[in-house]
Amino acid sequence: MRSVYLDHAATTPLHPEVSSLMGEFMREIFGNPSSLHSFGREARKWMEEARQKVANLIGASAEEIVFTSGGTEADNLAILGVALSRSEKGRHIITSSIEHHAVLDTCKFLAKKGFEVTFLPVDRYGIIDPDDVRKAIRKDTILITIMHANNEIGTIEPIEEIGKIARDHGIIFHTDAVQTAGKIPVDVNTLNVDLLSLSAHKIYGPKGVGALYVRKGVRLEPILHGGGQERKYRSGTENTIGIVGFGKAAEIAARDLDQEFSRTKRLRDKLIRGIFEKIPDVRLNGHLKQRLPHNANFSFFGVEGESLILSLDLQGIAASSGSACSSRSLQPSHVLAALGLPYEWIHGSVRMTLGRTNTESDIDYVLEVLPDIVARLRSFSPLARKLQA
């Protein structure tokens, strides 16, 4: 059977150059980068090269990169680290209602521990109004954390402008760039950010490794204590194999960014056009233009998302959904809810995220298979009947 992977926002396969370098490294280099002897020095050399490559991807200096176990830890370190180091100055945090759970739930955790959190709304395209950020700022605001682009709907937020507001007020600004780095240009100086989260496995690197960019001069309390690795920000012997893979992935992502941007965007636009041509009662969630090039998020009225995902899977197509039934928590997507989307549409949502694995014929195949799947599920849906009536 054909196999079409349209879930690159969930994770990506290792780039062949990444896996071959990791293979070489793990066979030959095992030293602890903290050791003084030649084995340790050799491992450190590889690790520092990787650090430079990750820094290059976001226009940072190598010494501003702190390696972590992934995007979730980077978000936790940023938010908890600022909260712990600045709690004397204030206990107010500003975030948005559409953040990834790694940010959202960390903020909610702090709210239970005596901090106050403002969750900003978004408009119907998922865009945060910088004016809302300005208005939410108080004397005791210590941190603003707003994602660079949303993982579900691909909406790109006005980070540059929000960063400027934060800077004017002397407030630390963190952005989760897990979905954007390597996909669209990310530059920490243009974006006016102090802290920025990254993940390797979203850019054809390995799972279990990520990084937090920490601007020079920004103080953070560590959340992991021990041997003082990563300039004391993150104790624990570094995941050298993962870090080396991350470095290579970052280098390739930077090298191929323009080409992959145009290629995935062209295929994505073809997918959107085709679906609107072939399937009635469909909507595109998110913003039409201010959007990641590889993201499409549709809602098919009267169709339940999990049924749609499983039907696609039976035809070899991998996608994801924001429906309640498709999540383990049985909660519908908080992002689609924040857009003000009615439940009938939320449950019928399907996210398709393109990447390196996709070709033109993948899109043709989806456009051939999907209309029949939607029609079949609608044929026995009481909601679809309602719409026709």
Partner 1 sequence: MYSEKVMAHFRNPQNVGEIPDASGVGEVGNVICGDILRVYIKVRDNVLEDVKFMTFGCAAAVASGSMTTVLAKGRTIEEALQITKKTVAEALGGLPPHKRHCSNLAADALRKAIEDWKHKEARTVS
Q: With beta carbons less than 8 A apart as the criterion, state whether 90 and 140 touch.
A: yes
Q: Give the one residue of 114, 170, 217, 382 binding partner 1; rule: CB under 8 A.
A: 382
Compute the least distance from the CB of residue 307 to partner 1, in Å: 6
Among 211, 303, 366, 369, binds partner 1 (CB under 8 A): 303
Counting contacts by CB under 8 A, is residue 383 touching partner 1? yes
Judged by CB under 8 A, which stretch of 11-19, 160-168, 233-241, 381-389 contacts partner 1? 381-389
Kindly provide the b/e burial profile for residues 298-315, where b requires at least 16 CB atoms within 10 angstroms of the residue's own CB.
Answer: bbbbbbbbebbbebbeeb
CB 96 within 8 Å of CB 261: no
According to the binding rule CB under 8 A, does residue 307 interact with partner 1? yes
Side chain identity at residue 85, one-letter code: S
What is the nearest approach in angstroms of partner 1 to the Cβ of residue 151? 21
Q: Indicate whether 299 belongs to the interface with partner 1 (CB under 8 A).
A: no
Which parts of 312-341 interact with partner 1 (CB under 8 A)? 314, 323-326, 328, 330, 332
CA distances from residue 128 to 204, 206, 359, 386 in whole angstroms, order as listed: 29, 31, 33, 34
How many residues line the site for partner 1 (CB under 8 A)? 24
Please state, in angstroms and rounded to a whole number, the distance separating the CA atoms of residues 10 and 318. Answer: 11
**Would you say 96 or 381 has its CB closer to partner 1?**
381
325 is known as an active-site residue = yes
- Cα–Cα dist 60/57, whole Å: 8
Considering only residues 306, 334, 357, 371, which one is a binding residue for partner 1 as defined by CB under 8 A?
Answer: 306
How many beta carbons lie within 10 A of that of residue 278, not counting itself? 15
94 three-class SS: strand
Set 325, 361, 376, 387: catalytic member:
325
Catalytically active residues are 325
Residues in touch with partner 1 (CB under 8 A): 302-304, 306-307, 310, 314, 323-326, 328, 330, 332, 343-344, 347, 379-385
